[in-house]
Amino acid sequence: MRMRKTTATLAGFLLVGIAATPAHAESIRSRQWHLTLMKADQIWKTSTGAGITVAVIDGGVAPIPELEGQVVPGKDFATTYSGDERTDSNQHGTAMAALIAGTGKHPSGDGAFGLAPGAKILPIRVPEGVDVKNAAWTAAIRYAADTDAKIISISLASGEEDPARLDAVKYALSKGKLIFAGVGNRGDGSNEVLYP
């Protein structure tokens, strides 16, 4: 009887604690509008991306709780920078990787989810900035094409076409890769179509 009374008291405290906790309106998940817009809960019933590797060509992918266990060894093409492909100086590559494969895991219990939380990330670090003539970007695309990654994410957009990069993209497509690349995102309201 004492155990039942203790359990009932404990349950009461837990319920009071839950009631006193603010609503999750300000949780990370509630602010991830893109998951709602893309109907992620429905998508995840069909697939979470398990078994798929996405090459993220960007400024690197730093270790964060939401990506723990999701990142496979990659390659560093920004060799004049300190660190390697697991170093991200401006957090853009890490953000892109989390949007793709974030698992929601976080010590706070309120981590970010990606659209494909079962996918793996292959980080490929390249020099920052939009320099369409930079050979590192072209080499990175070709490297990604030769890996097991089925999808290549290229966070780059430029108004200037580069024949070498175009050839690298064609090479990746010939290997059956699905490519997502920058096409705009300039923030200036321009409707100009950018490359690649």
- Determine, yes or no, domain membership for 142: yes
Q: Give residue 70's domain range.
A: 39-181
- Determine, yes or no, domain membership for 48: yes
Q: What is the pLDDT of residues 77-135, one digit of tens each?
A: 998 889 999 999 889 999 999 999 999 999 988 889 999 999 999 999 998 865 656 78
- Determine, yes or no, domain membership for 13: no
- Determine, yes or no, domain membership for 166: yes
- Determine, yes or no, domain membership for 114: yes
- Determine, yes or no, domain membership for 21: no
- Determine, yes or no, domain membership for 138: yes
What pLDDT does residue 109 have? 84
Q: Classify each residue of 42-69 as buried b or exposed e, where b means 16 or more C-beta atoms within 10 Å of its C-beta.
A: eebeeebbeebbbbbbbbbbbebebbee
Count the domains in the chain.
Answer: 1
CB 144 within 8 A of CB 122: yes
Query: Helix, strand, or coil here: 59?
Result: coil
pTM of the predicted model as reported, rounded to 2 decimal places: 0.81
Q: What is the pLDDT of residues 140-163, one digit of tens each?
A: 999 999 999 999 999 877 777 888
CATH number of the domain within which 142 lies: 3.40.50.200
Helices and strands (H and E) in the chain: how many: 7, 5
| Greater model confidence, 67 or 22 | 67
Which band of pLDDT confidence, cut at 50, 70 and 90, is reported for residue 22? very low
